[in-house]
Amino acid sequence: MIFECVKCGYCCTVRPCAYGEWDEEKGQCKFLTKDNLCSKYEEIKKAEFKCMYPMFGCGCSSSLFNERREAKIAAMAMKPKEITINQEQKEILDHTMHRAANGLYCGDSEDMQDLVKKGLMVSAGKKSFVPDEYFKITEKGRKVFSGQEN
Ligand code: SF4
Ligand code: SF4
Protein backbone atom coordinates (compact mmCIF):
# COMPACT_ATOMS: atom_id res chain seq x y z
CA MET A 1 0.00 0.00 0.00
CA ILE A 2 1.27 3.48 -0.85
CA PHE A 3 0.66 6.33 1.58
CA GLU A 4 0.46 9.73 -0.03
CA CYS A 5 3.21 12.26 0.65
CA VAL A 6 1.41 15.25 2.17
CA LYS A 7 4.55 17.39 2.27
CA CYS A 8 4.84 17.52 6.04
CA GLY A 9 8.64 17.73 5.82
CA TYR A 10 9.22 15.17 8.59
CA CYS A 11 11.51 12.82 6.64
CA CYS A 12 13.85 15.72 5.82
CA THR A 13 14.24 16.41 9.55
CA VAL A 14 15.35 12.82 10.25
CA ARG A 15 18.15 12.48 7.71
CA PRO A 16 18.96 14.04 4.34
CA CYS A 17 18.23 12.11 1.15
CA ALA A 18 20.93 11.44 -1.45
CA TYR A 19 20.57 15.04 -2.71
CA GLY A 20 20.42 16.72 0.67
CA GLU A 21 22.88 18.18 3.17
CA TRP A 22 22.43 18.22 6.90
CA ASP A 23 22.05 21.50 8.80
CA GLU A 24 23.29 20.69 12.31
CA GLU A 25 21.91 23.88 13.83
CA LYS A 26 18.37 23.47 12.47
CA GLY A 27 18.33 19.68 12.75
CA GLN A 28 17.06 19.20 9.22
CA CYS A 29 18.21 19.14 5.62
CA LYS A 30 19.35 22.60 4.62
CA PHE A 31 17.20 22.46 1.47
CA LEU A 32 13.92 22.06 3.38
CA THR A 33 11.98 25.31 3.05
CA LYS A 34 9.93 27.00 5.75
CA ASP A 35 6.73 25.62 4.24
CA ASN A 36 8.16 22.09 4.24
CA LEU A 37 8.98 21.88 0.55
CA CYS A 38 12.23 20.79 -1.05
CA SER A 39 14.10 23.68 -2.66
CA LYS A 40 15.89 21.15 -4.89
CA TYR A 41 12.62 19.71 -6.20
CA GLU A 42 13.12 20.70 -9.85
CA GLU A 43 16.78 19.63 -9.81
CA ILE A 44 15.90 16.23 -8.34
CA LYS A 45 13.00 15.72 -10.75
CA LYS A 46 15.38 16.43 -13.64
CA ALA A 47 18.08 14.13 -12.26
CA GLU A 48 15.56 11.32 -11.82
CA PHE A 49 13.90 11.71 -15.20
CA LYS A 50 13.09 8.21 -16.47
CA CYS A 51 13.95 6.70 -13.09
CA MET A 52 11.67 3.71 -12.38
CA TYR A 53 11.28 4.58 -8.68
CA PRO A 54 11.74 8.35 -8.39
CA MET A 55 12.09 9.93 -4.98
CA PHE A 56 9.10 12.20 -5.54
CA GLY A 57 5.83 10.54 -6.45
CA CYS A 58 6.32 7.16 -4.77
CA GLY A 59 4.44 7.98 -1.57
CA CYS A 60 5.45 8.58 2.01
CA SER A 61 8.62 6.98 3.34
CA SER A 62 7.73 7.62 7.01
CA SER A 63 4.01 7.19 7.49
CA LEU A 64 4.15 5.27 10.80
CA PHE A 65 3.94 7.15 14.11
CA ASN A 66 4.48 10.42 12.26
CA GLU A 67 2.64 13.08 14.25
CA ARG A 68 3.76 15.82 11.92
CA ARG A 69 2.16 14.02 8.97
CA GLU A 70 -1.03 13.38 10.95
CA ALA A 71 -1.25 17.06 11.87
CA LYS A 72 -0.79 18.07 8.23
CA ILE A 73 -3.52 15.66 7.12
CA ALA A 74 -5.87 17.05 9.75
CA ALA A 75 -5.14 20.60 8.60
CA MET A 76 -5.76 19.60 4.99
CA ALA A 77 -9.08 17.98 5.77
CA MET A 78 -11.18 20.81 4.45
CA LYS A 79 -14.79 19.99 3.72
CA PRO A 80 -15.25 19.25 -0.01
CA LYS A 81 -17.89 22.00 -0.29
CA GLU A 82 -15.35 24.62 0.82
CA ILE A 83 -12.95 23.74 -2.00
CA THR A 84 -13.14 25.74 -5.19
CA ILE A 85 -11.74 24.57 -8.51
CA ASN A 86 -11.54 26.24 -11.90
CA GLN A 87 -12.97 24.95 -15.18
CA GLU A 88 -9.68 23.37 -16.29
CA GLN A 89 -9.39 21.52 -12.97
CA LYS A 90 -12.99 20.37 -13.25
CA GLU A 91 -12.14 18.95 -16.67
CA ILE A 92 -9.08 17.15 -15.26
CA LEU A 93 -11.25 15.49 -12.58
CA ASP A 94 -13.95 14.66 -15.12
CA HIS A 95 -11.45 13.16 -17.57
CA THR A 96 -9.72 11.12 -14.85
CA MET A 97 -12.99 9.72 -13.54
CA HIS A 98 -14.74 9.01 -16.81
CA ARG A 99 -12.30 8.67 -19.69
CA ALA A 100 -8.70 8.13 -18.59
CA ALA A 101 -7.43 4.57 -19.07
CA ASN A 102 -7.23 2.82 -15.68
CA GLY A 103 -8.21 6.10 -14.01
CA LEU A 104 -4.75 7.53 -14.63
CA TYR A 105 -4.38 11.09 -15.91
CA CYS A 106 -1.11 11.67 -17.75
CA GLY A 107 0.58 15.06 -17.44
CA ASP A 108 1.54 17.61 -14.82
CA SER A 109 0.56 21.30 -14.81
CA GLU A 110 -0.01 24.21 -12.44
CA ASP A 111 -3.68 23.26 -12.21
CA MET A 112 -2.73 19.67 -11.44
CA GLN A 113 -0.34 20.74 -8.68
CA ASP A 114 -3.10 22.85 -7.16
CA LEU A 115 -5.43 19.81 -7.22
CA VAL A 116 -2.70 17.73 -5.52
CA LYS A 117 -2.25 20.47 -2.90
CA LYS A 118 -5.99 20.41 -2.22
CA GLY A 119 -5.91 16.63 -1.84
CA LEU A 120 -8.11 16.01 -4.90
CA MET A 121 -5.50 14.28 -7.07
CA VAL A 122 -2.40 12.34 -6.13
CA SER A 123 0.69 11.35 -8.07
CA ALA A 124 0.67 7.82 -9.44
CA GLY A 125 4.31 7.96 -10.52
CA LYS A 126 5.76 7.42 -13.97
CA LYS A 127 5.90 4.58 -16.43
CA SER A 128 9.27 3.74 -17.94
CA PHE A 129 8.08 4.43 -21.52
CA VAL A 130 6.27 7.76 -20.89
CA PRO A 131 8.18 10.86 -19.70
CA ASP A 132 5.13 12.53 -18.09
CA GLU A 133 3.94 11.86 -14.57
CA TYR A 134 0.59 10.12 -13.97
CA PHE A 135 -2.04 11.23 -11.46
CA LYS A 136 -5.14 9.61 -10.01
CA ILE A 137 -8.19 11.06 -8.32
CA THR A 138 -8.71 10.77 -4.56
CA GLU A 139 -11.96 10.06 -2.74
CA LYS A 140 -12.06 13.73 -1.82
CA GLY A 141 -11.59 14.62 -5.50
CA ARG A 142 -14.62 12.50 -6.41
CA LYS A 143 -16.71 14.21 -3.74
CA VAL A 144 -15.68 17.68 -4.87
CA PHE A 145 -16.41 16.80 -8.49
CA SER A 146 -19.85 15.39 -7.75
CA GLY A 147 -20.64 18.40 -5.57
CA GLN A 148 -19.76 20.75 -8.44
CA GLU A 149 -21.35 18.82 -11.30
CA ASN A 150 -24.03 20.84 -13.04
S1 SF4 B 1 17.19 17.50 -0.66
FE2 SF4 B 1 15.03 17.93 -0.51
S3 SF4 B 1 14.02 15.94 -0.36
FE4 SF4 B 1 16.19 15.63 0.07
S5 SF4 B 1 16.32 15.75 2.31
FE6 SF4 B 1 16.73 17.77 1.49
S7 SF4 B 1 14.77 18.86 1.52
FE8 SF4 B 1 14.38 16.65 1.73
S1 SF4 C 1 7.34 12.22 6.00
FE2 SF4 C 1 6.10 11.38 4.35
S3 SF4 C 1 4.47 12.89 4.06
FE4 SF4 C 1 6.08 13.89 5.19
S5 SF4 C 1 7.35 14.87 3.61
FE6 SF4 C 1 8.27 12.88 4.07
S7 SF4 C 1 7.42 11.50 2.54
FE8 SF4 C 1 6.11 13.32 2.59
What is the residue extent of each domain of the chain?
1-77, 79-150
Look at 68 and 80; give whichever has higher pLDDT. 68
Helices 87-98 and 139-148 meet at what angle, rounded to 10?
120
Tens of pLDDT along 110-148? 999 999 988 899 999 888 888 899 999 998 899 888 875
pLDDT of residue 150: 40
20 Cβ below 6 A of ligand 2: no
Look at 23 and 143; give whichever has higher pLDDT. 23
- Using the atom order of ligand 2, give the atom closest to the CA of residue 10: 1
CA distances from 91 to 69, 106, 123 (A): 30, 13, 17
* Domain 79-150: CATH architecture, name and number where available: Orthogonal Bundle (1.10)
When the pLDDT of each residue in the chain is averaged and rounded to a whole number, the result is 89
Average pLDDT over residues 79-94: 86
**Is residue 29 over pLDDT 80?**
yes
Protein residue with its CA nearest to atom 3 in ligand 2: 5
